[in-house]
Amino acid sequence: MLATFFSGIHHYVGDYGYLAVGLGILLEDFGLPTPGETLLITGAVLASGGALNIWWLLLVAWTAAVVGDNIGFYIGRTCGHAFLLRFGKRFGITQARLDKVEGMFHRYGVAVIMLARFVVILRQLNGIVAGSLRLHWLRFLIANAIGAALWVGFWGLLAYWLGRRVYVYAHAIEHIEPLAIGGAALAAFIAGIYVYRWRHGRRDRNGKR
């Protein structure tokens, strides 16, 4: 099941590229259950192999993250708490989740906005809750842009770097594979001779007794 999910994500990003990553992050950031983080990581891994440009990918992801959260902010500001609970249940927006996120906003303030993207529930409800609590939009925009840059930079560049290492190792293995196979075959041949001589030597010793 999990392998099928990740395979589908890989094909989706492979087919639609920047659009897939940008749209997935945009939708996730105003409450819809799309795998934005997984799409970003998949896109960065594909970029490490040359399928996408990593810098364009990061720019698209950052823009989608900021715009998506601002859409969420607008929804929260104009529709309010009751509307979100009434129509958001089908997308996983519940009273318990809203209460949890609102509690974090009251306790940590702007810091929650900047770090919200690294937590699943906060990433989806960050903008909506900020809008429903009627935070100042400019403060939200600045904190949100900084948080988006941190999130996109961390996951995008980390996945890209790891992907590059994998491609390098895979390329090296491709070149040493014939030598490895030959060495393994030689080792097996030598081991076979050793076992053969050991068994025959044991048989001769038993015969003499």
Structure tokens at 56: 């364009």
Considering the chain, what is the average pLDDT of its residues?
76
More confident residue, 181 or 164: 164
Residue with the bigger pLDDT between 124 and 66: it is: 66
Q: What angle do CA 69, 79, 23 make, to 5 degrees?
A: 30
Percent of the chain at pLDDT exceeding 70: 67
Weakest-pLDDT range from 83-97, 118-132, 186-200: 186-200
Which pLDDT band holds residue 207 (cuts at 50, 70, 90)?
low
Would you place residue 196 in the very low, low, confident or very high pLDDT band (cuts 50, 70, 90)? low
Residue 127 CB: number of other CB atoms within 10 A? 30
Instruction: Tell me the torsion sign for CA atoms 27, 73, 132, 96.
Output: positive
Least reliable range by pLDDT among 19-28, 64-73, 87-96: 87-96
Q: What is the pLDDT of residue 147?
A: 92
Q: In the chain, where are the structural domains located?
A: 2-168
Q: Check whether 189 has a pLDDT greater than 70.
A: no
